[in-house]
Amino acid sequence: MTPRGIEVVEIGQTATYARTVTEADVDLFAELSGDDHPQHVDEAYSRGTRFGERIAHGALLVAYMSASSTRWVRRWLTGRTNQSTVSYGYDRIRFIRPVRFGDTVEVTHAVDEIDAGADRFVAAVTVTNQDGIVVAAARHVMKFV
């Protein structure tokens, strides 16, 4: 008998996703999302802000969080259960430091809470840059369906 999905989830299981953020990524994300705030797309405007340059969207980092979650599913669930997971949402998302073009971010998705009765679990999500500085963080709730 194939185990229920929640039965194969363990505290401490992790997966990561890394990507170097480019100007093209930010431009494409602005186009796809419709978020064309000048901090992300207008160099002249951005030079006058406290960041002094264009920076990546926080929502783009959330997309990278989702990519890390998908890698977690592939690593820990594929072939171990037939039950699917869905994202139940992100809590306490924080954009702590700006992400600049050329930064390489690594997203770590680490299970740290399991609610077997509700068939869901929570992962701490941390985004660090190439210098090991935390630039974003969240809690990701996932549920088996």
Structural domain containing residue 110: 10-22+58-144
Query: Can you give the pLDDT at residue 2?
Result: 82
Kindly state whether residue 69 falls inside one of the protein's structural domains: yes
Q: What is the CATH number of the domain that holds 126?
A: 3.10.129.10
Kindly state whether residue 106 falls inside one of the protein's structural domains: yes
Kindly state whether residue 130 falls inside one of the protein's structural domains: yes
Of 35, 6, 2, 17, which Cα lies nearest the Cα of 121?
6
Handedness of CA 93, 97, 100, 103 (dihedral sign): negative
Query: Can you give the pLDDT at residue 108?
Result: 98
CA distances from 96 to 45, 129, 135 (A): 21, 11, 5
At 1-20, the pLDDT tens digits run: 788 999 999 999 999 999 99
Kindly state whether residue 39 falls inside one of the protein's structural domains: no
At 125-136, the pLDDT tens digits run: 999 999 999 999
Query: Can you give the pLDDT at residue 110?
Result: 98
Kindly state whether residue 50 falls inside one of the protein's structural domains: no
Please name every residue paired with 109 in a beta bridge, in sequence order, or none if there are none.
15, 125
Q: What is the mean pLDDT of residues 72-88?
A: 95
- C-alpha–C-alpha distance, residues 51 and 83, integer Å: 44
Kindly state whether residue 42 falls inside one of the protein's structural domains: no
Kindly state whether residue 30 falls inside one of the protein's structural domains: no
Kindly state whether residue 18 falls inside one of the protein's structural domains: yes
Number of compact structural domains in the chain:
1
Tell me the three state secondary structure of residue 12: coil
